[in-house]
Structure 1
Amino acid sequence: MTPPPLFPPFDPRKRNHPGQREYINKILFVKPKVPPFRCYHDLINSKITNLKYLKKLNAFIGLFPKNSLAEQFRHHPDVFQIEDDIDVQIFIPFKGKIVPKTQMIPWGIERVGAQKAWYYSQGKGVRVGVIDTGIAFDHPDLERNIKGGVNIINPLLSPYDYNGHGTHVAGTIGAVNNEYGVVGVAPKVDLFAIKAFNKDGTAKLSDIIKAIDWSIENEMDIVNMSFGFNEPSPTFREAIIRAQQAGVLMIAASGNKGTRGRIEYPAQFDETIAVSSINEKNQISNFSTIGPQVDLAAPGEKIISTWPNNSFRELSGTSMAVAHVTGVAALILSRYRQLSTYELAEVLKSSAIRLKNISSFAQGAGVVNAAIAIRSP
């Protein structure tokens, strides 16, 4: 016999005012190691629609009626966290010109010592997920390294990039070393396009959480998160914690507001590596948000990388800095596969080069350096 629901089901016939006719997307995390069946049963009986279960995160996403039902679920014995979905926006402080296609090594690749590390490692076999606007996987500087992906927004479509941001990030991480365009930090890495942001650079937090679940399910080693927002989301924190426990190293942007004291989420979470931006003069970029949670600095100003339509473009932002750190992490992990996420993070920080007369608020442990890191473990 099916047990009765813990809460009375939502009855659409009892709508007494217009507000009850509205629905809102919510994110619900079941307590760790608690089977989801009872919670699922109660959600179904409460008429929660568009319900999706995220297996690796043990979480649900669905449309709740705007009434007291969500508050009731806060007291459900199996529920760990529940909150409203929010919008997230990618912000690019500077977008430069489209540049020529002749082979070049961007200044950021040189600054992090990638070339000196290529003798030992080029990132082969490391699976890097790029949660972003997708990737232009037909780009001649990327297509050899694109190994798969997913369109979180519309799973029936490919994760192709119609914005450009994700393609630019992917190029800095792993553009192929050939006779064309640019070279990435880890030119033989396995790249996966995880499209959670649309062509306007906006995303739902629920889609980003789905992207993290996909990353765990598909065994990503490293996840690049070149985005940020100011909302202290408890469900997002839980997703980050569970991904770290699953062995995923997550690297995130400190933010582009140029403020001091409070960096953005998810970089602010202890479970991520928070990255600020420097320019060619080894100065912290004016747009870079800084604070005590910053772990590392990396090149992020006037970075040339891949762009849709087989082209290349110069962009600035902490997004670009994150991509450099992700690439260096891939180089290290490719050579030292036994490293845990905690050990890999420690190698990145212990091998960084500190900038003089700049506080740890701005640079964390210093500027990431592949040449030193590759010989550290």
Structure 2
Amino acid sequence: MDIATFLHLLHEEIGLTKQSGKKHMIRFSSAKEYYACKSQLKRMRSRLSNLSKVRALDIIHAFSCTLRPDSKLKHSAGCPVIEEDTKVTVHQLIGSKPTIKRASAQSGSGSNTIPWGVNQIGAPEVWNKSLGLNVRVGVIDTGIDYNHPDLRNSISRGINLLNQSMLPFDDNGHGTHIAGTIAATGRQTGIIGVAPRSIIHPVKAFDHSGSAYVSDIIAGIDWCVNNDLDIINMSFGMKSYNRALEQAVLNAYYRGKVIVASSGNDGKRKTIDYPARFPQVVSVGATTRLGRIAPFSNRGKQIDIYAPGERVYSSWLHGKYNELSGTSMATAHVSGVIALMLSVKPLSPQQIKSVLRRCAIGINKRESKRWQPGHLNARRALRAARQV
């Protein structure tokens, strides 16, 4: 089937899609075929208005759009591969609703609050050497509270993939909480994150209920790569393998982006969620305040590093603060430490992963000849990074 015929059919199919429509990805077998189709699509948009609803996903040579589940395009000869999109959720522990609090000095310097997790990984001990200055972190999540006093100095340009005419404002809280752990710069009564001089680029791919489509996440990865961010924080996951997501992760990795993802909150002993399960990703499990593996955390050999994830205190919507538990929270601590590392020395994603694994503090006291993932420590990580 030639490109013009395919795009005419796609225009018709999108027009027939009503409430029963579902998001789909249209994947091309080659970059040449994809870019030829993308170029033609741009020319035809003025005449065929439905084609304006098609989103390009350059990083995996695909389009994303809403189609009927029984779309005729799926069975047309010579068409690209068309597959239904999949849902993903953030890794926040569901339980009793945490209490929203004002910042009060849990520990700290003067009237600032240094949350227990930031303290436990030893971040304040290295702030005289690195604050993560100008390291750019893409947080693919629910957005951010732009008006939070502790985040105002940490936020730069982002994108709202659910509505590109709007700023990526957080309507859930999860993304704001993650951003606070990474880079809060509390003044007076606020909190301080792991890397308070790093820069957060909010990428809103998740809705108010903490749910997203894989295609939105891929669009988020694409945006982070195109805007040359250093770290991509992905505090979410799914149980099933997704080839399109793997391709996006691989392409970002080969472009030098450090991807950090949470392992999941199912308490599984031998398996973790995707995308953390991909070998190119720094996979993170959660620990308790006592430094033990959290009961809810997925664990096992596929974990690269553990970090604080139980009742983590951070920024919340409307300028407030909240305690949340989950491997999501642990992932934010790791992204913060990587920002501290990259601020003192440029390292590849592979070097970052290797350093974190090598310099972790052991969790199990029992002797073991096999390597086991340990607990994050900022001082060790920074020292090892300098020696690479």
Normalising by the smaller structure, the TM-score range is 0.7 to 0.9
Kindly report which structure 2 residues correspond to 1:228-307, keeping only aligned pairs within 5 A, or say none: 228-307=237-316
Greater displacement, 51-60 / 257-266: 51-60
Greater displacement, 92-101 / 310-319: 92-101
Report the AA paired with residue 71 of structure 2.
Answer: N
Greater displacement, 54-63 / 323-332: 54-63
Report the AA paired with residue 318 of structure 1.
Answer: T
CA distance in 2, matches of 1:176, 1:336: 22
State the match for 1:60 in structure 2.
63
CA drift of 1:55 comes to: 3.1
Report the AA paired with residue 336 of structure 2.
Answer: G
CA drift of 1:272 comes to: 0.9
CA drift of 1:183 comes to: 1.0
Give the TM-score of the pair, scaled to structure 1: 0.87
State the match for 1:83 in structure 2.
83
Q: Which has the higher strand share?
A: 1
CA distance in 1, matches of 2:214, 2:10: 28
CA distance in 2, matches of 1:268, 1:32: 26
CA distance in 2, matches of 1:276, 1:11: 43
CA distance in 2, matches of 1:278, 1:19: 46
For the 8 Å contact 1:7–1:42, the answer to whether it is kept is: no
CA distance in 2, matches of 1:336, 1:4: 47
State the match for 1:34 in structure 2.
32
Per-residue CA deviations over 1:115-162 (Å, capped at 9, x if unaligned) read 111111100110001111111121111101111211110011111112
CA distance in 1, matches of 2:246, 2:366: 29
Greater displacement, 143-152 / 50-59: 50-59
CA drift of 1:28 comes to: 3.0
Report the AA paired with residue 370 of structure 1.
Answer: A
- SS of 2:291's equivalent? coil
Report the AA paired with residue 374 of structure 2.
Answer: G
State the match for 2:211 in structure 1.
202
CA drift of 1:342 comes to: 1.3
For the 8 Å contact 1:249–1:272, the answer to whether it is kept is: yes
Report the AA paired with residue 325 of structure 1.
Answer: V
State the match for 1:373 in structure 2.
381
**Aligned pair in 2 of structure 1 residues 277, 298: CA closer, same or farther (>3 Å)?**
same
CA distance in 2, matches of 1:22, 1:315: 36
Greater displacement, 88-97 / 181-190: 88-97
CA drift of 1:20 comes to: 11
State the match for 1:329 in structure 2.
338
CA drift of 1:238 comes to: 0.8
**Aligned pair in 2 of structure 1 residues 32, 116: CA closer, same or farther (>3 Å)?**
farther
CA drift of 1:284 comes to: 0.8
- SS of 1:36's equivalent? helix
Pick one of 327, 351, 357 that aligns with 1:349: 357
CA distance in 1, matches of 2:330, 2:163: 29
CA distance in 1, matches of 2:340, 2:284: 17
CA drift of 1:21 comes to: 10
CA drift of 1:178 comes to: 2.8
Q: Which runs of 5+ in 1 are unaligned?
A: none
CA drift of 1:198 comes to: 1.3
CA drift of 1:283 comes to: 1.2
Q: Which has the higher helix share?
A: 2
Kindly report which structure 2 residues correspond to 1:52-131, keeping only aligned pairs within 5 A, or say none: 52-65=55-68, 66-72=70-76, 82-93=82-93, 94=95, 95-102=97-104, 103-131=112-140
CA drift of 1:252 comes to: 0.5
Q: Once the two structures are aligned, what percentage of the paired residues are identical?
A: 36
CA drift of 1:67 comes to: 3.4
State the match for 1:148 in structure 2.
157
Report the AA paired with residue 150 of structure 1.
Answer: I
Pick one of 305, 310, 317 that aligns with 2:326: 317
For the 8 Å contact 1:153–1:196, the answer to whether it is kept is: yes
Greater displacement, 20-29 / 117-126: 20-29
CA distance in 1, matches of 2:367, 2:190: 36
Over the aligned positions, Cα root-mean-square deviation in angstroms equals: 3.1
State the match for 2:169 in structure 1.
160
Greater displacement, 326-335 / 280-289: 280-289
CA distance in 1, matches of 2:202, 2:215: 17
- SS of 1:145's equivalent? coil
CA drift of 1:168 comes to: 0.6
CA distance in 1, matches of 2:323, 2:74: 45
CA drift of 1:31 comes to: 4.4
Per-residue CA deviations over 1:301-341 (Å, capped at 9, x if unaligned) read 0110011111111111000000000000000001102x112
Greater displacement, 274-283 / 199-208: 199-208
**Aligned pair in 2 of structure 1 residues 72, 312: CA closer, same or farther (>3 Å)?**
same
Per-residue CA deviations over 1:210-246 (Å, capped at 9, x if unaligned) read 1111111111100111111112111111111111112
Q: Which runs of 5+ in 2 are unaligned?
A: 105-111
